[in-house]
């Protein structure tokens, strides 16, 4: 008999809440909140601490998911877990774990402006938009390949397609705002597109683990 546990009893949920806290801090920093509150040197320190917090919490979530017991936390998950055990003999699919990692990496690079993996950090709106479009392209291509290979159900592909089209439309609206000289609106549209990319990541995580 499989029993669910309370939401906050899950180490993964606790770690993800911590990571989200760090991400919210980084997003606020992206919009200049840190600059309004702290000196330039302190802003860099705060951003670095938030990055360490987010990265550490995310890695811990992955570690907890990989090594600790992972009882379901909702009745729906109980039913699905039993169904998945019958269907595929286990709870996690290696394909989906790698898929989530593949998506998390570029999103992390986007939010953090990290130069790891040899990628050049964007320094302007145009360059950030190019990275956002590139991430979206990689994600959509990966999803298409997964559907073509039968690794992902078509209905999941349709959901990803809808979100990708939304993100593309938002980025195009940002382009129009930039062309009209409204950089503030353009930046807002870019942030929204990054939010949709994160929705795609969440959707994949939900479906894949």
Stretch that binds another protein, among 5-13, 60-68, 79-87, 114-122 (CB under 8 A): 114-122
Helix spans in the chain (H): 11-30, 33-37, 40-67, 75-88, 94-112, 125-148, 154-179, 183-208
Stretch that binds another protein, among 29-37, 75-83, 121-129, 196-204 (CB under 8 A): 121-129
Nearer to another protein, 16 or 107 (CB): 107
**CB-based contact 91:81 (threshold 8 Å):** yes
Q: Which of 126, 169, 195, 206 binds another protein (CB under 8 A)?
A: 126
Q: In whole angstroms, how far apart are CA 151 and each of 15, 29, 197, 206? A: 28, 38, 21, 15
Site size toward another protein, by CB under 8 A: 50
Least Å from the CB of residue 120 to another protein: 4
- Cα–Cα distance measured from residue 108 to residue 100, given in angstroms and rounded to the nearest whole number: 12
Nearer to another protein, 103 or 190 (CB): 103
137 near another protein (CB under 8 A):
yes
Stretch that binds another protein, among 10-18, 66-74, 96-104, 184-192 (CB under 8 A): 96-104
């Amino acid at each position: 008999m499989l029993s669910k546990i309370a939401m906050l009893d899950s180490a993964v949920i606790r770690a993800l809440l911590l990571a989200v806290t760090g991400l919210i801090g980084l997003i606020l920093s992206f919009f200049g909140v840190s600059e309004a509150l702290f000196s330039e040197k302190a802003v860099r320190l705060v951003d670095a601490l938030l990055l360490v917090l987010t990265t550490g919490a995310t890695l811990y979530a992955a570690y907890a998911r990989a090594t600790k017991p992972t009882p379901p936390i909702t009745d729906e998950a109980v039913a699905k877990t039993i169904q998945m055990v019958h269907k595929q003999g286990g709870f996690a699919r290696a394909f989906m774990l790698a898929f989530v990692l593949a998506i998390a990496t570029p999103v992390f690079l986007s939010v953090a402006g990290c130069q790891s993996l040899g990628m050049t950090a964007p320094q302007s709106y145009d360059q950030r938009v190019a990275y956002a479009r590139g991430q979206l392209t990689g994600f959509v291509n990966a999803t298409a390949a997964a559907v073509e290979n039968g690794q992902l159900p078509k209905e999941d592909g349709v959901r990803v397609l809808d979100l990708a089209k939304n993100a593309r439309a938002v980025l195009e609206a940002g382009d129009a705002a930039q062309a009209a000289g409204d950089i503030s609106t353009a930046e807002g549209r870019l942030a929204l597109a990054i939010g949709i990319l994160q929705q795609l990541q969440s959707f994949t995580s939900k479906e894949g683990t």
